[in-house]
């Protein structure tokens, strides 16, 4: 299948002048798919591209740049090839290196035409004069030159290569997931330097105090029990019969996938459902275990009014814990965090309700949170390692630091 046709997507690519509406419109759509505004927003009201938002990385803070076409503080003086080089190679016009908080290791999979379309679109937004000091990392990570080494280890530049043995839908999905969508940026396990661990792609990873769950076909920890339509609904509406998006994924849905067309989301589902999950299975904690008994009592008393005694919740309103990959994640981070802090689910045009989970940090102690988390992670067919009081205690400390 022809790469050009694949990358052009569903919006027809027209003649490429800076005023070409079809190209600008395609760029607007791709900017949504790439969720540019998720990071490049900031304090300037009414301009989601003016930057300044601090992005938390395991190494420190990086502030998102101003990507409006302001010539001094934005990217107004950049040429198409400057923009292409930044997005697909991680190198700025002055030759300095970007940090992979800007997901160029994924954007590199996008086609030159699509990146040019995004640039064409960004050139149409109102320029905002807003200087951003991007690099707020501590030594030695503040040395941008170190990224040369990082890139040599973990960065594999190059456009997405379609698999000729797979369908057009699979390949379109792959192009979006691997490129603009940069799903692996959160959902793939990383090594200690933040590089993707090979062979474990999309099997879930922790960031910003959340665990971005496994999104492979793993039926226990991943999306194996989700239909294609479940995935489409989740990305489009933020809610489906089983789950609700909250935390960083709520932002992605709000700014990104809820605005994408359903055909693209269906292709993403096709691709994700074909990603291999982990083979090994965790052993469930014995239901006769004391923490399971205590956890069950707390669950029935505090949780079951909404999530029901059997964990099934209410479709599109209260998440189904019995079939939740977040609950059954390798690490209990999200479960513990949501019990402690509560969570706002995303509200979208299709699902405006935006129900919220209340916080229990004030009411349950570490041992109680650990017990109820252990219980829900080992009930209804789930199996996962026991959650300890120490896990909860350290999550509490992290949350206290993060006032966001």
Partner 1 sequence: MARKLPAKDVVIVGLGWTGSILANELTDEGLDVVAIERGPWRDTATDYPPAYAADELRYRIRHELFLRPEQTTFTFRNKMDQTALPIRTWGAFMPPNGVGGGGVHWNAETWRFLPTDFVVRTHLTKRYGAHFLPADMTIQDWGVTYEELEPHYDKFEYLCGTCGTAGNLRGQIQEGGNPFEGARSRPYPNPAQQQPFGPTLFAKAARDLGYKPFPQPSGNMSRAYTNPLGVRMGPCTYCGFCEWFGCGNYSKASPQTTVLPVLLRKPNFQARDNSEVIRINTDRSGKRATGVTFVDTAGNEWEQPAELVILAAYTIFNVQLLLLSGIGTPYDPVANTGVVGRNFTHQTTSDVTSFFDPAKFIFNPFIASGAIGMCIDEFNGDNFDHGPHGFVGGGYMGQLQTNGRPIETTPVPPGTPKWGAKWKQAVRENYQSTLKPGTGVHGSMYSYRDVYVDLDPTYRDRFGRPLARMTIDFHDNELKQNRFLTDKFAEIFQAMGAKQVMKEYRKGPYDITAYQTTHLCGGAVMGADPKTSALNRYLQSWDVPNLFVMGATAFPQNPGYNPTGTVGALAYWSAAQIRSQYLKSPGPLVRA
Q: How far is the CB of 213 from partner 1 (least distance, A)?
A: 22
The smaller minimum CB distance to partner 1, of residues 7 and 242, is found at: 242
Listed in order, strand segments (DSSP E) in 131-258 are: 135-136, 205-207, 210-212
Task: Compare residues 251 and 344 and give the one whose CB is closer to partner 1.
Answer: 344
User: Rounded to the nearest whole angstrom, what is the least distance from the CB of residue 313 to partner 1 in the complex?
Assistant: 8
Q: What is the DSSP letter of 16?
A: -
The least CB distance from residue 365 to partner 1, in Å, is 14
Residue 287 vs 353, nearer CB to partner 1: 353
* Rounded least distance, CB 342 to partner 1, Å: 6
Closest contact distance (angstroms) between CB of 244 and partner 1 is 11
Query: 11-46: string of b/e by CB count within 10 Å (b at 16+)?
Result: bebeeeeeebeebbbbbbbbbbbbbbbbbbbbebee
Contact residues: partner 1, CB under 8 A: 302, 305-306, 314-318, 342, 344, 347, 349-360, 363
Residues 6+ apart with CB under 8 A from 275: 201, 202, 215, 216, 217, 222
Q: Cβ 325 to partner 1, closest distance in Å?
A: 22
Q: What angle do CA 257, 176, 132 make, to 5 degrees?
A: 70
Using the minimum distance from each CB to partner 1, give the nearer residue, 132 or 298: 298
C-alpha–C-alpha distance, residues 327 and 332, integer Å: 7
Report the alpha-carbon distance of residue 99 to residue 185 in Å, rounded: 13
Comparing CB distances to partner 1, the nearer of 146 and 306 is 306
Helix (H, G, I), strand (E, B) or coil at 186: helix
Q: Which is closer to partner 1, CB of 211 or CB of 360?
A: 360
Angle, CA of 72, 94 and 85, to the nearest 5°: 100
The least CB distance from residue 172 to partner 1, in Å, is 29
Minimum CB distance to partner 1 smaller for 168 or for 356: 356
- Contact at 8 Å (CB) between 339 and 262? no
Give alpha helix (H) positions in 123-183.
146-154, 168-178
């Amino acid at each position: 299948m022809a790469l050009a046709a694949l990358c052009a997507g569903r919006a027809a690519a027209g003649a490429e002048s800076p005023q070409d509406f079809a190209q600008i419109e395609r760029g607007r759509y791709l900017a949504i798919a790439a969720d540019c505004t998720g990071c490049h927003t900031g304090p300037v009201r009414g301009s989601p591209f003016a930057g300044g938002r601090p992005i938390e990385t395991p190494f420190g803070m990086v502030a998102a740049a101003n990507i409006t076409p302001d010539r001094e503080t934005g990217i107004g003086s950049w040429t198409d090839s400057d923009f292409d080089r930044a997005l697909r190679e991680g190198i700025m016009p002055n030759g300095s290196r970007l940090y992979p908080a800007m997901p160029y290791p994924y954007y590199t999979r996008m086609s030159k035409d699509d990146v040019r379309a995004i640039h064409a679109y960004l050139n149409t937004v109102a320029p905002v004069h807003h200087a951003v000091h991007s690099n707020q990392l501590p030594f030695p990570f503040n040395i941008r030159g170190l990224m040369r080494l990082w890139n040599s280890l973990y960065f594999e530049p190059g456009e997405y290569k379609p698999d000729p043995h797979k369908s057009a839908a699979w390949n379109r999905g792959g192009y979006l997931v691997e490129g603009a969508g940069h799903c692996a940026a959160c959902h793939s396990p990383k090594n200690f330097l933040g590089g993707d661990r090979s062979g474990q792609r999309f099997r879930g990873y922790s960031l910003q105090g959340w665990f971005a769950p496994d999104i492979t076909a793993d039926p226990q920890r991943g999306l194996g029990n989700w239909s294609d339509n479940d995935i489409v609904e989740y990305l489009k509406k933020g809610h489906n019969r089983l789950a609700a998006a909250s935390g960083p994924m709520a932002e992605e849905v709000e700014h990104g996938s809820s605005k994408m067309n359903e055909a693209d989301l269906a292709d993403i589902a096709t691709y994700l459902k074909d990603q291999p999950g982990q083979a090994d299975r965790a052993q469930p904690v014995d239901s006769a275990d004391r923490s399971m008994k205590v956890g069950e009592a707390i669950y029935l008393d505090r949780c079951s009014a909404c999530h029901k005694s059997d964990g099934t919740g209410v479709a599109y309103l209260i998440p189904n814990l019995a079939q939740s990959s977040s609950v059954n994640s390798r690490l209990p981070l999200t479960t513990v965090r949501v019990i402690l802090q509560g969570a706002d689910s995303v509200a979208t045009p299709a699902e405006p309700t935006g129900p919220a989970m209340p916080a229990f940090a004030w009411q349950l102690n570490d041992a109680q949170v650990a017990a109820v988390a252990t219980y829900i992670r080992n009930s209804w067919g789930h199996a996962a390692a026991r959650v300890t009081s120490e896990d909860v205690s350290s999550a509490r400390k992290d949350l206290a630091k993060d006032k966001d």
